[in-house]
Homo-oligomer: A and B are copies of this chain.
């Protein structure tokens, strides 16, 4: 039961938040250097043989195939379809990504990180309220154009239940900062958490998918207006 998942996507302490170190995407040669190439006086007797070259190649093929298939068939496309396109057996796919959410995370990590990274720049160049709106727009665009991603975020499927937590952990801090700033400047109400918005936006992006992202954008815009409404009541009394 309590095994250790997290295959390709290693674990992160908590969150680099708005920092610049986005957690190496589908990182390959990255920090995945377990066996110390030449440890000074490191434990000698453990040379796990490294990782084989073909294994890395297959992993890359899988990521590329998954990216393509996710676009054409959505994130819940049959595993076989992805494996076939990658030219490997399903066994290989499952060894690299025991949970489907691992694959989804790996495929979108780059884009999620880009969203996160955009936060600081927005706060620096815009008023808090504008920064928040622009960021949400970007996030909405991301979710709404990834067939099935938004739905996957609250599908209930056990193989995907790690996704919401992942998103929360990843973009939570950034969004939190934007929200706090906007609330502090009085541009939006203060009783909204990052979690609220993340879930709400995901919900509003889900129905769409094949309807065009236009619907999602409009609805999210309404929601954001709602946040403003709470902060600036049209009839300030006494």
Contacts and interface: CB of A to CB of B under 8 A. Distances in A.
Contacts of A206: 154, 203, 206
Contacts of A154: 151, 206-207, 209
Contacts of A230: 222, 225
Interface in A37-70: none
A129 interface: no
Contacts of A142: none
Q: How many copies does the complex hold?
A: 2
B199 A207 contact: yes
A229 interface: yes
Contact of A226 (B209, B223, B234): B223
B215 A196 contact: yes
Interface string A179-202: 000000000000010001001101
Most chain B C-beta atoms within 10 Å of own C-beta, residue among A74, A208, A223, A233: A223
A215 B199 contact: yes
Interface residues of A, number: 35
B223 A196 contact: no
Given A199-B207, A224-B226, 10 more contacts: A151-B155, A196-B219, A199-B219, A219-B223, A221-B226, A222-B226, A225-B225, A225-B226, A226-B226, A226-B227
A114 interface: no
Contacts of A156: 74, 148, 151, 209
A80 interface: no
A232 interface: yes
A157 B215 CA distance: 20
A199 B233 CA distance: 27
Contacts of A200: 204, 207, 219, 222
Most chain B C-beta atoms within 10 Å of own C-beta, residue among A202, A204, A207: A207
Contacts of A215: 196, 199
5 contacts: A151-B155, A154-B206, A196-B215, A222-B226, A229-B234
